[in-house]
Amino acid sequence: MWKFVVRRILIMIPQLVVLSVLVFILAKVMPGDALSGLVETPGVDSSTIEDMRTNLGINDPVHVQYLNWIKGLSQGDLGTSYIHQRPVLELLEARLWNTVYLSAAILFLTYLIAIPLGITAGRFHDSLVDKLIVGYNYVTYATPLFIFALLMLFVFGFQLQWFPTGGSTDINLEPETFSYYMDKIYHLLLPALSGALLATVGTIQYLRNEIIDTKMKDFIKTAKSKGVPEAKIYSHHILRNSFLPIAAFLGYEITGLITGSIFLESIFSYPGIGQLFLQSISQRDFSVVTALVMVTGVATLIGTLLSDIILSLVDPRIRVE
């Protein structure tokens, strides 16, 4: 088991190198840099800008720039935001956590909704409940996130006023107190619920199909022929086998959450990295964009790592390989 985990983590090293090179290239090919915006500014002539560029290392050979960048990364230096005039790390920190909270909340709510629905649909497939659940799936699959989120915000935020309409917390509250945390959760709820309600599609569909498939397997017949009651056949045999693809899906799910957060955070004015991402792109704050792409990439790698570790925990066939 541990051997597997260690080996799996070692595999991440080349993945990280490839990711960093890709991100670096991406950063380089993006048109303009942070200083291009200054070209038209009165009082700043082009030689001044050239000097600034040299000072920033922008004119160094590419591989030197890459190595410098990696060196910085390893020390937690993600560069400086030219727009905010602050280290990117500092800028990211608080927002990154907000996004992590939001993603975790979405993931939690997604599974909370999707798992019971998926199991019910699979167990009673072709029944009326199954058809209702599949119908719900079609609807959520076809609904665009940004429209749905706007609708939720309008109805529950502005009309009914059940939830706050923006931010991640009430600034008047003393940090680290109970009511502060409750307030954070309160701010999370509406965006998380909006994201989760649409994110259930994959999990429900997978779980449902997997249960329908597993039900027909020979080893289920074996269990039945032993006299195992139906409820126990589900809990001991069908469900565990059916959860495998859900676990395998987790890495993908996490990537989806991060992309999804770009819309959600913008609509709910929730200060996370998604919102920052959009801002930074429009302001050409490329050191921030680059850092965010890198962070997202790492999160995806961690997601797949988690998937693999979970899979190896539940599936003995993977452990030996």
Partner 1 sequence: MSNDDILLQVEDLTTSFRIDDQYYPANDHINLDVYENEIVAIVGESGCGKSAFGHSIMGMHSQEQTKISGKIHFKGADLLSYSNTQLNKVRGKEISMIFQDPLTALNPLMIVGKQIEEGMKYHTKLSKNKRKQKAIEILSEVKIPQPERVYSQYPHELSGGMRQRIVIAIAIACEPSLIIADEPTTALDVTIQARIIDLLKELKRRMKTSIILITHDLGVVSEMADRIAVMYTGEFVEIGETKNFLKNPLHPYSKSLLHSLPSKNNQGEKLHVIKGVVPSLNHLQRQGCRFKPRMSGTDDSIHEETPTLREVEKGHWVRCTCYKHFQIDNHNQVVEGEKDDVFQGQ
**Which of helix, strand or coil describes residue 81?**
strand
| Closest distance of CB 126 from partner 1, Å | 8
Rounded Cα distance, 20 and 73, in Å: 10
- Using CB under 8 A as the binding rule, whether residue 255 contacts partner 1 is answered as no
Q: Which string of b and e fits 37-75 if b means at least 16 CB within 10 Å?
A: eeeeeeeeeeeebeeebeebeeeeeeeebbeebeeebee
Q: 122 or 274: whose CB is closer to partner 1?
A: 122
Residues 297-316, mask of contacts with partner 1 (x by CB under 8 A): -----------------xxx
Q: Which tokens hold the place of 248?
A: 């395998």
Ramachandran assignment for 79, one of left (phi > 0), alpha (psi -120 to 50 degrees), beta (any other):
left
- Using CB under 8 A as the binding rule, whether residue 131 contacts partner 1 is answered as no
Q: 181 or 219: whose CB is closer to partner 1?
A: 219
Q: 241 or 283: whose CB is closer to partner 1?
A: 241
Find the binding residues for partner 1 in span 225-254 (CB under 8 A): 225-230, 236-237, 240-241
Q: 189 or 220: whose CB is closer to partner 1?
A: 220
Rounded Cα distance, 32 and 241, in Å: 52
| Closest distance of CB 143 from partner 1, Å | 33
Which of 108, 219, 235, 259 is close enough to bind partner 1 by CB under 8 A?
219
DSSP E strands, the chain:
80-81, 86-87
| Closest distance of CB 307 from partner 1, Å | 17
**Which of helix, strand or coil describes residue 217?**
coil
- Using CB under 8 A as the binding rule, whether residue 208 contacts partner 1 is answered as no
Residues that bind partner 1 (CB under 8 A): 217-219, 221-230, 236-237, 240-241, 314-317, 320
